Homo-oligomer: A and B are copies of this chain.
Amino acid sequence: MSTNRHQALGLSDEEVLDMYRTMLLARKLDERMWLLNRAGKIPFVISGQGQEATQIGAAFALDREKDYVAPYYRDMGVVLAFGMTSRELMLSAFAKAEDPNSGGRQMPSHFGQKKNNIITGSSPVTTQVPHAVGFALAAKMEKKDFVSFVTLGEGSSNQGDFHEGLNFAGVHKLPVITLVENNKYAISVPYEKQIAAEKVSDRAIGYGMPGYTVDGTDPLEVYQVVKEARDRALAGEGPTLIEAISYRLTAHSSDDDDRVYRNREEVDEAKNKDGLYRFEAYLEECGVLTEDAKSNYIKEIDQIVNDATDYAENAPYAEPESALKYVYEE
């Protein structure tokens, strides 16, 4: 077989299948959450649909044992790749006590899990950028060979914390990779009303770091740019800003009605370029993914999603009074 794209990147067939499977799992969990929401079983969903390729491409380029990630709310793909389980994600969706992110204290998709190096996040956007820089500072001070990886939406790149954090990282050449998942909207506001720059990556030069814009619906393209960024970071060459362009396939969240501000044609067009199915097609084309394997994945994932849903639905809530715990060290 002639070299295909993933082999050229040093990715084995197994690895790309793992990537595919994780993308598919993220999608299916996400779709299930919408169903649960529409059925009145969970109050809120915020979705990564359309951004899985970006997330999985990036996560697989990291060292998932050593590196620290500060994901944002759409990053189900990232946290799955870093070891959060489907049950854990569903526990969070149902706000159950066993949810490892917050014990049901935070809204779903507010990730955090120390044992998997997932840094706890919050709702106010972009605060995680300086945090990731702080982890990278620690890596430099302690001479450890990890990088930190932080994601955010393109709209969120207009917050002061983006600027302050990236400049800090640039001045001290810290090993932090910032990935802007540009899905073209910040709730209802389109890119051109959010950002004056032609590309978000145009901001990199202002922080003395390289900036790249890649196709966020192509996991291999994202993989490559993140991998290179990681290599540079470990070599002491400092931070990188990456913009991965995709599209938000769902409404902003289960509370949003996107028909007010964007037309269906635009959404449909994006659905036709869905990174998940394009990656599937690629794997099929190069013979890595067979019909059989695919239907096995689908079956397996269906089971996983069912199991996670059942488990989480039946799990208990935290006791009311447990709201008083863990304000300070106990």
User: Which A residues have a C-beta under 8 Å from some C-beta of B?
Assistant: 158-164, 166-167, 169-171, 192-198, 202-203, 205-209
Contact = CB atoms under 8 A, between A and B. Distances in A.
A229 B197 CA distance: 18
Contacts of A159: 160, 163-164
A158 B203 CA distance: 13
A278 to B, nearest CB: 30
Nearest to A193: B171
A89 to B, nearest CB: 32
Contact of A205 (B161, B162, B192, B205): B205
Given A202-B205, A203-B206, A164 B170 contact: no
Contacts of A166: 196
Contact of A196 (B158, B170, B192, B197): B170
Contacts of A169: 196
Contacts of A161: 160
21 contacts: A158-B167, A159-B163, A160-B160, A160-B161, A162-B163, A163-B163, A163-B164, A167-B195, A170-B196, A171-B193, A171-B194, A195-B208, A196-B206, A196-B207, A197-B206, A198-B205, A198-B208, A202-B205, A203-B203, A203-B205, A205-B205
Contact of A209 (B194, B196, B203, B206): B196
A202 B206 CA distance: 5
A67 to B, nearest CB: 22
Interface core residue of A163, A195, A206 (most chain B CB under 10 Å): A206
A242 B40 CA distance: 55
Interface core residue of A170, A195, A197 (most chain B CB under 10 Å): A197
A312 B251 CA distance: 63
Contacts of A158: 163-164, 167
A181 to B, nearest CB: 18
A140 B196 CA distance: 17
Given A158-B167, A198-B208, A203-B203, 11 more contacts: A159-B160, A163-B163, A167-B195, A171-B193, A196-B206, A197-B205, A197-B207, A202-B205, A202-B206, A203-B205, A206-B206
A65 to B, nearest CB: 30
Contact of A171 (B163, B164, B195): B195
Q: Report, nearest first, the 9 A-B pairs whose CB atoms are least far apart.
A: A160-B160, A170-B196, A196-B208, A163-B163, A203-B206, A171-B196, A202-B205, A196-B207, A197-B206
